Structure 1
């Protein structure tokens, strides 16, 4: 007999998932400039928080990261399907294009270690 173990969607294990506290290595005085290494640590922590919430990392530098959530619509595939189905697939294509959402966020760490979050249109 095989035992099936079901894993929860979001486990409540310690250290798993997003936290609301700053990284432990960030203990500089507020408003004081921080080193490049500390800025990278803060960005790492922020990126991990976004990844734990379902975002994907699109690009990254030591003090900036671009995060995305959602998938873009494959318009080429839908155009081909619309042609082969004599425009019937066009209805499905319009619904998918109208309801699909893709979000993009830019995370930038300034000299004082604060993270600026900028939502960008897609």
Structure 2
């Protein structure tokens, strides 16, 4: 299997993850980092926590853990197989 086929395998794996909701954060010849989710708007939650005298803090914590961005790394091995690693 040549280098072109290896890159095609990586491109196919990237397309599959993008269809599942991930977006490409960075990409090289044999590796790609993809991310899903946007994270939390901390300024908004801080303002709401101040306005509600701290009652909003539990909601803020829940939102932080639920909406954390999830990253995966797709890497080509020497045989052209794509390896997926959750980080």
Does the TM-score normalized on the shorter chain lie above 0.5? Answer: yes
Give the count of matched residue pairs. Answer: 87
**Corresponding residue for residue 117 of structure 1:** 84
Larger-gyration structure (1/2)? 1
Normalised TM-score (structure 2): 0.79
Normalised TM-score (structure 1): 0.60
**Corresponding residue for residue 35 of structure 2:** 68
Task: Answer 1 or 2: which has greater strand percent.
Answer: 2
Aligned-CA RMSD value: 1.9
Flag structure 2 segments of 5+ consecutive residues without an equivalent: none
Of structures 1 and 2, the one with the larger relative CO (CA 8 A, separation 6+) is: 2
Flag structure 1 segments of 5+ consecutive residues without an equivalent: 1-27, 29-33
